[in-house]
């Protein structure tokens, strides 16, 4: 199959909407990462997403809508959900709500809840409005690869597998949405994203964070979110993350780099001048910069063919939890904290 990659304009948006209405799969930009979309209510269309991604069938998809008004046929909308939508939609917050019979089991991997989100990216929003359908859309990478934050990343992974990629430039957030479970007593973050637990608690009164966000699942432990069972965001190289003050972390990074073969460093922008002529790339200065750049850097490191990535992280709390959750998984939880 030929894969078109077109700048998102009026014409390509109309083509994308027609493809979606015909049950086909289209990749499009959102503020978090690029999504691989299809009609969430069409069994066959949703199966085509799983096939293109080679995604395990037990990992459910997020359903994207143009506005909260589209939700009532899909799920039971609670007062708490309405308050959170009012505060954070459109934006990078996904809500888990009890699903109705309208949503096919393939979309939710057989779970009784459905994940819903209204993205803020103008191209995503225009596409959702134009097709008028709820669109199931996981990240547009092949399963296990870092999520795509540019149309070129999607092309790398999806060439020959889907008919169309809409190019809307680089994603501003760079990591996937916050996944918030609203089916229990207390709202619980299953996957951290740009909307933090602290911000959610200010609106909902309280908010917990699943304990497995920063550690591997234990043998036999049930995953709160099926996505946590699978290896994620993995570069080909082995990766170690170092966290602590610059004065502790930089000498350690240098010693490890010098002792290794074919290594590369991902460091905070401010630390780059301290690394001499070693191969080093910037993760920016703030955790938000790191989130925006991480997946791009992991793909670049794969292309370089380096064997060992040494990355400077942030303390895993507040707005840094999102990027550290991805760094932890990319490094198979090899994180060293230097006090
Ligand atoms: P992605 O589409 O790649 O951003 O992944 C979607 C994430 O949302 C995965 O980690 C899923 O496991 C999670 N998710 C989607 N629907 C549900 C659900 N009904 N219950 C729990 N987690 C879900
Ligand atoms: Mg994904």
Ligand with minimal distance to 59 CA: 1
pLDDT value at residue 226: 76
Closest CA relative to residue 295, chosen from 195, 175, 204, 155: 175
Whole-number average pLDDT of the chain: 95
CA atoms within 13 A on the CB side of 116: 29
pLDDT value at residue 2: 97
225 Cβ inside 6 Å of ligand 1: yes
SS3 content of the chain, % helix, strand, coil (to 5): 35, 20, 40
Tell me if residue 160 falls in helix, strand or coil.
coil
Q: List the beta bridge partners of residue 280.
A: 265
Atom of ligand 1 nearest to the CA of 33: 4
Q: pLDDT tens digit string along 113-166? A: 999 999 999 999 999 999 999 999 999 999 989 999 999 999 999 999 999 999
For 146, which DSSP code?
A: P
Q: pLDDT tens digit string along 31-42? A: 999 999 999 999
Q: Which of 40, 62, 188 to mutate to test the pocket of ligand 1 (most atoms within 8 A of CB)?
A: 62
pTM of the model: 0.96
According to the 3-state scheme, what is the secondary structure of 72-95?
CCCECCCHHHHHHHHHHCCCCEEE
pLDDT, mean of residues 215-235: 75
Taking ligand 2, which is a single-atom ion, which protein residues have CB atoms under 5 Å away? 139
Total number of residues shown for the chain: 339
Q: Positive or negative CA dihedral for 231, 232, 237, 243?
A: negative
How far apart (Å, rounded) are the C-alpha atoms in residues 14 and 229? 37
**8 A C-beta contact, residue 70 and residue 81:** no
Q: CB neighbours (10 Å) of residue 290?
A: 28
146 Cβ inside 6 Å of ligand 1: no
CA of 306 to the centre of ligand 2 (A): 24
List, in order of start, the domains of the chain with CATH numbers. Answer: 4-214 (3.90.870.10), 238-338 (3.40.50.11030)
CA of 226 to the centre of ligand 1 (A): 7
Burial grade of 69 (CB within 10 A; 0-12, 13-18, 19 or more)? exposed
Q: Token pair of 33, please?
A: 């990462």
Q: Say if residue 227's pLDDT is above 80.
A: no
Q: Which of 176, 226, 322 to mutate to test the pocket of ligand 1 (most atoms within 8 A of CB)?
A: 226
Q: pLDDT tens digit string along 275-293? A: 999 999 999 999 999 999 9
pLDDT, mean of residues 261-283: 97
pLDDT value at residue 228: 66
What are 277-281's contacts with CB under 8 Å, separation 24+? Answer: 278/254, 279/306
Q: Whose CA is nearest to atom 11 of ligand 1?
A: 227
Atom of ligand 1 nearest to the CA of 113: 19
What is each CA distance from 319 to 125, 173, 314, in whole angstroms?
25, 12, 10
97 Cβ inside 6 Å of ligand 1: no
Burial 200-232 (b: 16+ CB within 10 A, else e): beeebeebebbebbbeeeeeeeeebbbbbeeeb
Q: pLDDT tens digit string along 174-223? A: 999 999 999 999 999 999 999 999 999 999 999 999 998 988 888 777 77
pLDDT, mean of residues 84-108: 98
pLDDT value at residue 10: 97
Instruction: Kindly provide the residue ranges of all beta strands, DSSP E only, lying in the chain, ordered along the sequence.
Output: 4-7, 26-28, 35-39, 62-64, 93-98, 113-117, 135-136, 164-167, 178-181, 188-191, 208-209, 238-244, 263-267, 280-282, 308-312, 335-338
């Amino acid at each position: 199959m030929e894969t078109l990659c077109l700048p998102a304009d009026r014409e390509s948006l109309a083509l994308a909407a027609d493809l979606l209405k015909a049950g086909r799969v289209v990749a499009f930009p959102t503020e978090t990462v690029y999504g691989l979309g299809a009609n969430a209510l069409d069994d066959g269309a949703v199966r085509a997403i799983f096939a293109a991604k080679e995604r395990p069938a037990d990992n459910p998809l997020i359903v994207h809508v143009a506005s909260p008004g589209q939700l009532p046929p899909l799920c039971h909308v609670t007062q708490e959900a309405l308050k959170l939508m009012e505060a954070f939609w459109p934006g990078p917050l996904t809500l888990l709500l009890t699903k109705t019979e309208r949503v096919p089991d393939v979309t939710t991997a057989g779970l009784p809840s459905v994940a819903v989100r209204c993205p803020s990216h103008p191209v995503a929003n225009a596409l959702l409005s134009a097709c008028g359908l709820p669109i199931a859309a996981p990240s547009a990478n092949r399963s296990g690869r870092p999520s795509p934050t540019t149309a070129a990343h999607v092309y790398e992974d999806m060439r020959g597998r889907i008919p169309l990629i809409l190019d809307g430039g680089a994603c501003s957030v760079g990591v996937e949405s916050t996944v918030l479970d609203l089916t229990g007593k207390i709202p619980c973050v299953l996957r951290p994203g740009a909307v933090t637990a602290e911000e959610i608690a200010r609106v909902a009164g309280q908010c917990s964070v699943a304990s497995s966000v920063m550690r591997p699942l234990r043998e036999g432990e049930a995953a709160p979110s099926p996505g946590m069972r699978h290896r994620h965001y993995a570069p080909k190289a082995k990766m170690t993350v170092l966290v602590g003050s610059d004065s502790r972390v930089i000498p350690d990074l240098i010693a490890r780099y010098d002792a290794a073969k074919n290594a590369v460093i991902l460091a905070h922008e401010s630390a780059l001048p301290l690394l001499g002529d070693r191969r080093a790339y910037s993760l920016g200065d703030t955790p938000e910069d790191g989130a925006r750049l991480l997946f791009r850097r992991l793909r670049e490191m794969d292309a370089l063919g380096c064997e060992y990535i040494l990355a400077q992280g942030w303390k895993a709390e507040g707005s840094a939890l999102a990027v550290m959750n991805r760094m932890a998984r990319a490094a198979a939880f090899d994180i060293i904290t230097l006090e």
